[in-house]
Structure 1
Amino acid sequence: MTICARIRYYTCHRLIAAVVISCLVTTSVLLVPLVSLLSRSIDASQVKYGYKLTYKTWLDHLCPRSQIRNAPAQQLKWEPPSAQTIFFMQTSCANALTAREACAVESFAHHHPDRPILLLMTSLTINHTNPVMQTLLQLPNFRAAYLDLDVVFSEEPLRTWHRDKNWLFVEKRAGMALSDASRSEILRRYGGTYTDLDAIALRPLPNGTNWLAEFYGGRVTAALSSFLPGHSLFQRVVDAIPRVFDPYACCSIGPDLVTAEMRHLCPDTFSSIVTEDLQGPAVCSDITVLPISNFYPINYEMGPRGFSQLLRSGTGQEFLKNTNAYSLHLFSSLTARDVLYLGGGSILEEVAKKYCPKVFKIQRSISDVI
Structure 2
Amino acid sequence: MILMHKGCLIVFITGVCALLYMNWNMNSIHLIQSYISKILPVKEKATSNVSTPAMNSRIMFVETTDNMEPTPLAVCAVESAAHQNPDKQIYYFMKGFSGILSQYPHLEYRGIHLLTSMKNVVILPLNATELFKSTPLKSWYLKINPEKEKYWIHVLSDACRLALLWKYGGIYLDTDIISLRPLPIANFTCPANRMAVSNGAMGFLNLNHPFMWNCMEDFVANYIGHMWAYQGPHLINRVLKRWCNNENPNDLIGKECNGISIWIRNKFYPIPFPAWKRYYDSWKKEDIERTFSDTYGAHVWNYMNSAKKKAIIAGSGSLIEYFSKLYCPIAYSNLIQS
Instruction: Provide TM-score, normalisation by structure 2.
Output: 0.77
- Of 148, 154, 166, which aligns to 1:188? 166
Tell me how many residue pairs correspond in the alignment. Answer: 283
Q: For residues 189 and 96 of structure 1, do their structure 2 counterparts lie closer, same or farther at Cα, with a shift above 3 Å needed? A: same
Name 1:318's counterpart in structure 2.
286
1:203-214 equivalences under 5 Å are: 203-205=181-183, 207-214=184-191
Between the aligned partners of 2:336 and 2:130, the Cα distance in structure 1 is: 39
1:150-161 equivalences under 5 Å are: 150-161=129-140
Residues 117-170 of structure 1 show CA distances to partners (whole Å, capped at 9, x for unaligned) of 110011133644322322111111011001111111112422111111245421
Name 2:9's counterpart in structure 1.
none
1:211-360 equivalences under 5 Å are: 211-216=188-193, 218-227=195-204, 228-268=206-246, 271=248, 274=250, 278=253, 281-300=254-273, 303=274, 306-313=275-282, 315=283, 317-322=285-290, 323-324=292-293, 325-336=295-306, 337-360=309-332
Q: For residues 204 and 237 of structure 1, do their structure 2 counterparts lie closer, same or farther at Cα, with a shift above 3 Å needed? A: same
Establish whether residue 123 from structure 1 lines up as the match of residue 99 from structure 2.
no
Establish whether residue 148 from structure 1 lines up as the match of residue 127 from structure 2.
yes
Q: For residues 364 and 178 of structure 1, do their structure 2 counterparts lie closer, same or farther at Cα, with a shift above 3 Å needed? A: closer
Between the aligned partners of 2:158 and 2:330, the Cα distance in structure 1 is: 30
Retained in 2: the 8 A contact 1:184–1:234?
yes
Of the structure 1 ranges 317-326 and 83-92, higher mean CA displacement relative to structure 2 is found in 317-326
Of the structure 1 ranges 323-332 and 104-113, higher mean CA displacement relative to structure 2 is found in 323-332
Name 2:69's counterpart in structure 1.
96
Q: For residues 75 and 122 of structure 1, do their structure 2 counterparts lie closer, same or farther at Cα, with a shift above 3 Å needed? A: farther
Report the AA paired with residue 150 of structure 1: T
Residues 27-65 of structure 1 show CA distances to partners (whole Å, capped at 9, x for unaligned) of xxxxxxxxxxxxxxxxxxxxxxxxxxxxxxxxxxxxxxx
Between the aligned partners of 2:124 and 2:336, the Cα distance in structure 1 is: 27
Between the aligned partners of 1:91 and 1:75, the Cα distance in structure 2 is: 20
1:64-79 equivalences under 5 Å are: 76=46
Give, in angstroms, the shift of residue 232 of structure 1.
1.6
Retained in 2: the 8 A contact 1:282–1:290?
yes
Question: What is the RMSD computed on CA atoms of the aligned residues?
Answer: 2.5
Retained in 2: the 8 A contact 1:316–1:350?
no
Report the AA paired with residue 289 of structure 2: K
Retained in 1: the 8 A contact 2:314–2:337?
no
Q: For residues 124 and 190 of structure 1, do their structure 2 counterparts lie closer, same or farther at Cα, with a shift above 3 Å needed? A: same
Establish whether residue 198 from structure 1 lines up as the match of residue 198 from structure 2.
no
Between the aligned partners of 2:331 and 2:95, the Cα distance in structure 1 is: 22
Larger Rg: 1
Gaps of 5+ in 1: 1-70
Between the aligned partners of 2:217 and 2:268, the Cα distance in structure 1 is: 28
Give, in angstroms, the shift of residue 243 of structure 1.
1.6
Name 2:32's counterpart in structure 1.
none
1:131-146 equivalences under 5 Å are: 131-146=110-125
Q: Secondary structure at the match of 1:335?
A: coil
Q: Percent identity?
A: 24
Give, in angstroms, the shift of residue 73 of structure 1.
8.3
Retained in 1: the 8 A contact 2:313–2:336?
no
Give, in angstroms, the shift of residue 319 of structure 1.
4.2
Name 2:25's counterpart in structure 1.
none
Q: For residues 83 and 95 of structure 1, do their structure 2 counterparts lie closer, same or farther at Cα, with a shift above 3 Å needed? A: same
Between the aligned partners of 1:143 and 1:106, the Cα distance in structure 2 is: 11
Q: Secondary structure at the match of 2:313?
A: coil
Instruction: Provide TM-score, normalisation by structure 1.
Output: 0.71
Between the aligned partners of 1:333 and 1:345, the Cα distance in structure 2 is: 22
Retained in 1: the 8 A contact 2:135–2:163?
no
Between the aligned partners of 1:89 and 1:239, the Cα distance in structure 2 is: 21
Gaps of 5+ in 2: 1-40
Between the aligned partners of 1:321 and 1:164, the Cα distance in structure 2 is: 49
- Of 166, 169, 189, which aligns to 2:148? 169
Between the aligned partners of 1:316 and 1:121, the Cα distance in structure 2 is: 36
